Homo-oligomer: A and B are copies of this chain.
Amino acid sequence: MTAERTATLDDVAKAAGVSRATASRVVTGQGPASRHARDRVAAAVAALGYVPDAAARALVTRTGTRLAIAVIGHTAAVLDDPYVGRVLTTAAHVAAEREVGVSLHWLPLNDPGSLARLADGRGLGGLVVVNPTRPALETVPRNLRGRVVAIGVGARDVPSFDVDNRAGTEGVVRHLVRTGRRRIAMVTGPAWLPCGDRAVEAYRQVLHDSGGEPRVVPGDFTAVRGARAAAEIMARWPDTDAVFALSDLTALGVLDGLHALGVQVPGDVAVAGFDDIAFAGLSRPALTTSTHPVEEIATAAAQAVLDRHNTGRATFFPSRLVVRDSA
């Protein structure tokens, strides 16, 4: 009943009656091993509750023991975004099951060296780049190829995982059109963020199909910017009857800005967001939006690098319209 020293590979080998080398081959799944050896080792592993020592393995394979999450942005404040918190929480949970840790890093936009500097520190098992730009992805060192994925746009050698914001945006904007709105404005994400482009294209397309004129205002995913954007939109196009923001946070800001202007929502102007964050249901009026399965995306991304999956070049996760009161 006393907690004995945790089993080592030597113990497993001894118990299975094979050499440590053979036990290693079986455990890692690399290299040849007879059916017989395989079975005996597997049995011993189960019996002893053997778990490989990550540090020892990392030491010899130089493969690292840490999953780094690197978030690109203008300032280190991007790390405070609740979105990053959700990605990190999920990744840390997935990593924990494999006895690996996660670290968080800010990658300054337009600092090509920063990714390389991060990557050549030892101890890096894998890398998830959040919100990358295409140039940034070019700076991924070769020795990390195969252990890097992106959440956002990808690149050759860097598989990507992201929400299907094209279809999601289509769903939201079509809903707006279906409910009689025609003069629909959009608050986008930051201009440098390429993964928002798909959504803007979708917005333009739906507007084009329904005979509307695009009214695009740049955003930055913050609520403050949303409030300001609302004022800009109403000043520039006073007859606007709907605002779609590519982020719930921004949409909540729009709600605020419109309220300050004395504009009724959804009476005068409908408002819709994107993400379906926890607070979307708590605003007044409750926010109509489209889901963003952050946890699913982060799980897939973390698993891909930790398990060295060969996923496709780009994986998109569906977004679902959630109609509440604001549109």
List the one stretch of A18-26, A86-94, A196-204 in contact with chain B.
Answer: A86-94
Q: Which residues of B contact A121 (CB under 8 A)?
A: 6, 51, 99
Contact with B along A92-114 (1 / 0, CB 8 A): 11011001111111000000000
Using known A-B contacts A82-B82, A101-B103, A284-B284, determine if residue A65 contacts B69 with beta carbons closer than 8 Å: no
List the one stretch of A53-61, A160-168, A237-245, A316-324 in contact with chain B.
Answer: A53-61
Instruction: Assess whether A269 is interfacial by the CB under 8 Å rule.
Output: no
Instruction: Assess whether A85 is interfacial by the CB under 8 Å rule.
Output: yes
Instruction: Assess whether A283 is interfacial by the CB under 8 Å rule.
Output: yes
A: contact size bracket: 35 or more
* Chain B: minimal CB distance from A231 (Å): 16
A66 CA / B103 CA spacing, docked (Å): 10
Instruction: Assess whether A123 is interfacial by the CB under 8 Å rule.
Output: yes
User: A-side interface residues toward B, CB under 8 Å?
Assistant: 3, 6, 51, 53-56, 58-59, 64-69, 79-80, 82, 84-86, 88-89, 92-93, 95-96, 99-105, 116, 120-123, 223, 252-253, 256, 259, 278-279, 282-284, 295
Partner of A59, one of B55, B64, B253: B55
A104 CA / B302 CA spacing, docked (Å): 14
* Chain B: minimal CB distance from A299 (Å): 13
